[in-house]
Amino acid sequence: MQKLSYLLLFLILFSLNAKAQKPEKPTSAEIFEDIQKLNFLGTALYIGAHPDDENTALISYLANQVKARTGYLSLTRGDGGQNLVGPEIRELLGVIRTQELLSARRIDGGEQRFTRANDFGYSKNPEETLEFWEKDKVLSDVVWAIRNFKPDIIINRFDHRSPGTTHGHHTTSAMLSVQAFDLVNDPSKFPEQLKYTTTWQPKREFFNTSWWFYGSQEKFDKADKSNLVALDDGVYYPAFGLSNTEISALSRSQHKSQGFGNTGSRGSQTEYLELLRGDYPANGNLFAGVDTSWNRVKGGRAIGEILSQVENSYDFTDPAASLPALVTAYSLIDQLKDEHWRELKLKEITGIIKACAGLYLEATTSQELATANENIDISIEAINRSNTNMQLKNVVILPLEKSVEMGQNLLNNSDFRQKISINTGNAALTTPYWLNKQGSVGMYNVEDQKLIGLPETPHEFKAIFNIDINGVTIPFKSDLVYKYNDQVKGEVFEPFDIVPPVSAAIDEPVIIFSDSELKKIGVRVTAYKSDLKASVTLKHDDNWQVSPSEQNVSITSKGESTMIYFDVTPPAHQDSNTLIPEVNLDGNVYSKKVIQIDYGYIPLQTLTLPSQSQIVKLNIKKAGDFIGYIAGAGDVIPESLQQIGYQVAVIDPEKITPEYLDQFDAVVMGIRAYNTVDILKYKQQALFDYVQNGGTMVVQYNTARGFNFPNVGPYPLTLSSDRVTDENAQVRILDPSNEILNYPNKITDEDFKGWVQERGLYFPTVWNDAYKPVISINDKGENALDGSLLMAQYGKGHYIYTGLSFFRELPAGVPGAYRLFANLLSVGKSNEKIKG
Ligand SMILES: [Zn+2]
């Protein structure tokens, strides 16, 4: 019984949630596609490591041409990458990429799943990957995904046999997939999962190969292909007016934080699948030997007969003509013993009945956020746009199970609206479940088996419209969503989220004390209930002094914020610690903050996260005051430098001239500036002239792939993809007397401790003798890399190129990184007065 109710929950919560907030309004041709999918009972699962690994053309082909239920299991949420749309990195970027994947799946027709593995950054091989991922847990999650999704075929994006040729996460995803295939049907493996699901044996496993994995097109052309299946996924869909490859490009273009905008192609395109497990499929049919008809299910034959009739006699000008047969089929599906197919197909046919009837059902609120125990109004709308008689019997609001009797006949094109008032009761927070508990570098901490793998936290508030059609009562479920009219965008739907009654946050995640002066630190308190009266304290270590110890706060209106300030005094010695704002409200302590991520192209994300800031006392000296910053792909160098007392001006690249730059003590290029800012091509000479006149120019990393910038430095310099991913890799000093290591801060081994994620990336490999390498680093078992920090004298000034990950270390408050960066900015100023 427990198993049954879980499966139901899984399907209902997951599937509706994945459809986002905007109601679907399928056309007659799209309804027909859905009827064809209803009549195909086969499932495929594609497995990769990251958002963007998936082959959207193949996923779309399987979902739209083959009509299979198709999933993409991305082991991670892509937290470790870079962000082209905004400042979010790490976990918040993972939230954005999760939503990008869901958007992609809404376009290509797939479904999305994850594991608890966290994308901790680049790793060179599976061995390194599995130092951070807990192999048993990630394998368990892959098995869990397969047992729930029950795919007939599994397709791996990567080759499990060639470690070291690609990102370690990639190879590991394929290795775990192959291992899972072999043990997923064994009840003695991960038996705790069998409380909620059943074992399963997929029929075949493939590797989605291409010429790339063979080294070159030429080698691939010559290779033995007897074990490969070739298929043409360049098909055209008249129902959508699009080629499969065009859909694929639209889907791929959802990876906006990675800048993967993609222009679609048309025409035939061959996809290759290498058979890894199972028998070679006859006629290139991936599902050969699998009964993908309704006969697959016990009691399905009669359903299949009715539904093939529906498919054959479908009237594109009058989809409602199919309603009587669909309602009969619904009743038969509802009686199936096979839980898996029953729940899946009930969901599909319910959607089809709704679409055929032109039935529009909506449950909305006019507020985006609510707390537990709050009274809210729900507006419901129901309209039938067919001649079929229907009666809305009642509406049930979940999770409260509040039933409101309606007894309303839904006549053709007659709109019915009503308001329902509810109290939210002990509603759970809707924040991403995988961020609730502190995880490790490589793993999210999720204990509830039922949540593992879900793309989002289930939003529990829903309306079930129980509608009687031809004597059968069908429950139509709609997520409760926030709806409003925007003067520019028009009708907007966003998630309806549950938040705590109060949020307290220090805006800066890291606060640097570069001297012994006290700082006024602001705590932003936001009320999510009206007439909030509370007191606020800052939990801190005894080394640090906080005054006053407690402050009262009172906020009248819901949604309003106020700032309260505490004096924080650091200890004399270098130290790193945390400050946690705590709000005492009605006898409860709240220590979380509510943040929102709003980029328009994904649903508004509301997160409730642990609220804490790192406080760092630095022993740091610096020379120079005024720094110019040229933004690249996005980093927080200006904010970080302001923290240690620099004035920073963000430079408009259009304005760059040597005279304009002359006001700055140093100019810093944001990460990937040359990759992302085209106009810099024409401004490079002006920058070099500034250096020649005595300026200091610090260039952070640029990616080597496709890099065609002619003169990144004043002397020749060649970038590569060399990187050091071990953040603890030993640092060897090459040039102990170099100014960078001595002035104004004496850099020692201590300064290379406590770094995060990596040492650096895209180091130059070849450089003119004018550049002096300063340090040497490498990952375990690899050659020494000397190009992470290069300095050249040019005219009266200095040019520095560095692939060291300052963009990660400074926001993380790494003391040594601050001291070293201050030295970069202070180069050539040893005869000036030192500040610190
Ligand atoms: Zn990847």
- pLDDT tens profile 578-607: 999 999 999 999 999 999 999 989 999 999
Residue 141 has a pLDDT of 98
- 509 CA distance to ligand 1 middle (Å): 28
Whether the upstream peptide bond of residue 399 has omega within 30° of 0, thus cis, is yes
- 124 CA distance to ligand 1 middle (Å): 12
- 49 CA distance to ligand 1 middle (Å): 6
- 51 CA distance to ligand 1 middle (Å): 7
Q: And the tokens for 602?
A: 């994904």
Closest CA to 278 of 290, 292, 293: 290
Count other Cβ atoms within 10 Å, centred on residue 394.
15
- 76 CA distance to ligand 1 middle (Å): 9
- Give the DSSP letter string of 666-706: EEEEPTTHHHH-GGGGGTHHHHHHHHHTT-EEEE-----TT
- Name the residues around ion ligand 1, CB cutoff 5 A: 50, 53
Q: And the tokens for 277?
A: 């497990």
- 167 CA distance to ligand 1 middle (Å): 7
- 615 CA distance to ligand 1 middle (Å): 34
- 533 CA distance to ligand 1 middle (Å): 48
- 168 CA distance to ligand 1 middle (Å): 9
- 100 CA distance to ligand 1 middle (Å): 15
Question: How many whole angstroms separate alpha carbon 667 and alpha carbon 673?
Answer: 13
List the beta strands (DSSP E) in 17-169: 43-48, 69-74, 111-114, 153-156
Q: Which residue type does 71 have?
A: G
Question: How many whole angstroms separate alpha carbon 256 and alpha carbon 243?
Answer: 22
- 40 CA distance to ligand 1 middle (Å): 31
In the three-class reduction of DSSP (H, G, I as helix; E, B as strand; rest coil), residue 790 is classed as strand
In the three-class reduction of DSSP (H, G, I as helix; E, B as strand; rest coil), residue 333 is classed as helix
- 72 CA distance to ligand 1 middle (Å): 13
Closest CA to 815 of 754, 734, 749: 754
**Which helix H or strand E contains 793, and what residues bound it?**
strand 789-794
- 97 CA distance to ligand 1 middle (Å): 12
Q: Using alpha carbons only, how large is the chain's radius of gyration in Å?
A: 30
- 151 CA distance to ligand 1 middle (Å): 22
Q: Find out whether 281 and 288 touch, Cβ atoms under 8 Å.
A: yes
- 105 CA distance to ligand 1 middle (Å): 17
- 224 CA distance to ligand 1 middle (Å): 27
Three-state helix/strand/coil letters over 191-217:
HHHHHCCCCCCCCEEEECCCHHHHCCH
Q: And the tokens for 591?
A: 């220590």
- 170 CA distance to ligand 1 middle (Å): 6
- 394 CA distance to ligand 1 middle (Å): 48
- 158 CA distance to ligand 1 middle (Å): 9
- 20 CA distance to ligand 1 middle (Å): 25
- 826 CA distance to ligand 1 middle (Å): 38
- 234 CA distance to ligand 1 middle (Å): 24
- 261 CA distance to ligand 1 middle (Å): 16
- 50 CA distance to ligand 1 middle (Å): 5
Residue 709 has a pLDDT of 82
Residue 122 has a pLDDT of 81
- 583 CA distance to ligand 1 middle (Å): 41
- 101 CA distance to ligand 1 middle (Å): 13
Residues forming beta bridges with residue 363, ordered by sequence position: 380
- 242 CA distance to ligand 1 middle (Å): 27
Residues of the chain with pLDDT under 70: 1-20, 832-836
- 640 CA distance to ligand 1 middle (Å): 30
- 555 CA distance to ligand 1 middle (Å): 46
- 126 CA distance to ligand 1 middle (Å): 13
**Which helix H or strand E contains 619, and what residues bound it?**
none
- 458 CA distance to ligand 1 middle (Å): 27
What is the model's pTM? 0.83
- 810 CA distance to ligand 1 middle (Å): 26
- 211 CA distance to ligand 1 middle (Å): 18
- 256 CA distance to ligand 1 middle (Å): 15
- 676 CA distance to ligand 1 middle (Å): 21
Question: How many whole angstroms separate alpha carbon 718 and alpha carbon 467?
Answer: 68
- 74 CA distance to ligand 1 middle (Å): 9
- 54 CA distance to ligand 1 middle (Å): 8
- 169 CA distance to ligand 1 middle (Å): 7
- 122 CA distance to ligand 1 middle (Å): 9
Closest CA to 650 of 142, 639, 387: 639
The 626-630 sheet, strands edge to edge = 647-650, 626-630, 666-669, 696-699, 797-802, 789-794, 771-773
- 78 CA distance to ligand 1 middle (Å): 8
The gap from C-alpha 176 to its chain's centroid, in whole angstroms, comes to 22
Residues forming beta bridges with residue 566, ordered by sequence position: 521
Question: How many whole angstroms separate alpha carbon 361 and alpha carbon 379?
Answer: 11
In the three-class reduction of DSSP (H, G, I as helix; E, B as strand; rest coil), residue 727 is classed as coil
- 780 CA distance to ligand 1 middle (Å): 22
> How does pLDDT run across 102-120, given as a tens digit for each residue?
999 999 999 999 999 999 8
- 477 CA distance to ligand 1 middle (Å): 36
- 13 CA distance to ligand 1 middle (Å): 28
Q: Find out whether 321 and 295 touch, Cβ atoms under 8 Å.
A: no
- Give the DSSP letter string of 454-518: -SSPPP--EEEEEEEETTEEEEEEEE-EEEEEETTTEEEEEE-EE--SEEEE-S-SEEEE-SS--
